[in-house]
Amino acid sequence: GAGVSQSPSNKVTEKGKDVELRCDPISGHTALYWYRQSLGQGLEFLIYFQGNSAPDKSGLPSDRFSAERTGGSVSTLTIQRTQQEDSAVYLCASSLEGLAFGEQFFGPGTRLTVL
């Protein structure tokens, strides 16, 4: 079946603008994660959705970042008033349930460049 898909693959925006990044998880996966991969750094956890439970937002770096997941499937990560330090690759992953039950499958990422 299809893997995790993300759109757009690349996004260039101007400082101060808002951006929306989309993630389509693998069908049937109840858990969805967003990570950020900045140049020269590892992956940084942002937010985690599990079924209908309240999301774990503990990794969001500021209140400019938010995410939602509609119908337990597609997720959108929104960054408001983008800053240059937001430039990174944003990765989405999904898994059958939580971490205890198996691997996270990653999408190809969205490369965000803030000018």
List residues binding other proteins (CB under 8 A).
3-4, 31, 33, 35, 41-45, 48, 50, 56, 58-59, 91, 93, 98-100, 103-109
Q: What is the rounded CA–CA span in Å between residue 25 and residue 32?
A: 7
Rounded to the nearest whole angstrom, what is the least distance from the CB of residue 15 to other proteins in the complex? 27
Q: Is the peptide bond before 8 cis (omega within 30 degrees of 0)?
A: yes
CB 22 within 8 A of CB 90: no
Strand, coil or helix: 84: helix
Rounded least distance, CB 16 to other proteins, Å: 29
Least distance to other proteins, CB of residue 79, Å: 19
- In the complex with other proteins, which residue's Cβ is closer, 4 or 82? 4
